Amino acid sequence: MDKYDDFVDNSYTKVIEGLKTYKVRFEKVLKSHQDLYNSIAKHEKIFYQDSSIQLQMLKHCTKVNSDYFNILSDFVYDDEESLEFFRYDLKRFNFVLKLIARDWSPDYELERSCWFGPIIKTLEKSFESADRDNKKILCLGDGLLRLPLELCRKGFITDGVMEDILKISIASHLNKLTEINAFTIYPFVDKWSDLVSSVGQQKPVTFPDITFDMEDSQEELDLTREPTVIAARFLADYDPSMNQEKVDAVATSGYFNLSRNIPLIISTIHHNLRSGGIWVNNGPLINDYDVDYDSKSCFREWGYDDIKKALRKQGFTILSYNHEERSTFCYNRYYMSNEVYEMLFFIVRK
């Protein structure tokens, strides 16, 4: 086992090590594939003539990803007292590359509209434009600050609660960028099977499609303010005993899949809403939480009907509840199949 794949307590050190050693670690993966190719009998290699060329191209892709991560190492958030511990293995670093693509690449504008669009439209309808500059929204989920930014463009006061040092560091770097599509990454380098073409593994993605800097952006942004990043463990730091300021709305997208303790999520959100406040959710219930991250667990995984019952038991009034729409995550046309998620959309009022 790679020594960097062990779960450790020091998340700051873990992230720094992971960013700076990404190239070395992924090249070990490439070498294992090269060794496999070298072990093939000579008369069989005629069927794999492109393999060495493809591995060299992937080595270039790895270097490009590593160059970005090395830049990111200067932006690592260094106050982890109130944050959760995650398993910062190679899989997680490859995952955040896909998250960057989904949230900040022009290639995934349609996918963002599926994940974030229903939330934004609901909040626009719920609050008049003239009143939004004193309406506070709390954003929770497995994203990179794009939803909070889009809500700020609509005139809301928006706080994005982030629990992961790596994602906070990426958001901090994004905030400093002033040039559109300044970076290229290769989010799919870790995909080794079920490919229509090797092009799918080498597919480049540019970002960001917009910046936080209004003057340099190609699009006029209606920003009254930037979203605030709050580094915190939501379930702990927004516990009733913490006396946090109440908010007018909570927006969640991809938050349920971060924890299996759904009753605690529901009760904590209920506590932090003002009376009459609304909670808007859109996203799948994937149940892909990290057991090391979420030690407080329930005895079984929840379904959409279970969540609906729990919302009512908590005292929420359900205004809308459906799971009719579907979406992908970081769609790649060169995959033989892309996972399609059934999106749980609901609006509830306290």
Instruction: Note the pLDDT tens digit of each residue in 265-317.
Output: 999 999 999 999 999 999 998 755 444 444 455 556 788 999 999 999 999 99
Q: φ, ψ for residue 88 (rounded to 5)?
A: -90, 65
CA angle at 299 for the pair 293 and 305, rounded to the nearest 5° = 100
pLDDT in the model for residue 10: 67
pLDDT in the model for residue 212: 83
pTM: 0.91
C-alpha to C-alpha distances, 260 to 6, 226, 252, 302, nearest whole angstrom:
23, 31, 15, 8
Q: φ, ψ for residue 213 (rounded to 5)?
A: -90, 110
C-alpha to C-alpha distances, 148 to 134, 197, 243, 252, nearest whole angstrom:
15, 36, 23, 10
Residue ranges making up the domain that contains 115: 3-349
| Residue with more model confidence, 223 or 14 | 14
The pLDDT tens digits of the residues spanning 84-133 come to 557 788 999 999 999 999 999 999 999 999 999 999 999 999 999 888 98
Tally of CB atoms within 10 A around 277:
22
CA dist 192 and 189 (Å) reads 8
pLDDT in the model for residue 21: 96
| Sign of the four-CA dihedral 63, 50, 205, 27 | negative
Query: Do residues 199 and 178 touch, judged by C-beta distance below 8 A?
Result: no
Number of structural domains (the chain) is 1
Instruction: Tell me which of 72-81, 147-156, 158-167 is least confident.
Output: 72-81
CATH number at residue 270: 3.40.50.150
Instruction: Tell me which of 150-159, 227-236, 283-292 is least confident.
Output: 283-292
CA dist 130 and 196 (Å) reads 51
The pLDDT tens digits of the residues spanning 14-35 come to 899 999 999 999 999 999 999 9
CA dist 341 and 328 (Å) reads 6
> Is residue 6 very low, low, confident or very high in pLDDT (cuts 50, 70, 90)?
very low
DSSP category for residue 131: G
Tokens of 257: 């899949």
> Is residue 183 very low, low, confident or very high in pLDDT (cuts 50, 70, 90)?
very high
243 Rama sector, left if φ>0, alpha if ψ -120 to 50, beta otherwise:
left
pLDDT in the model for residue 2: 45
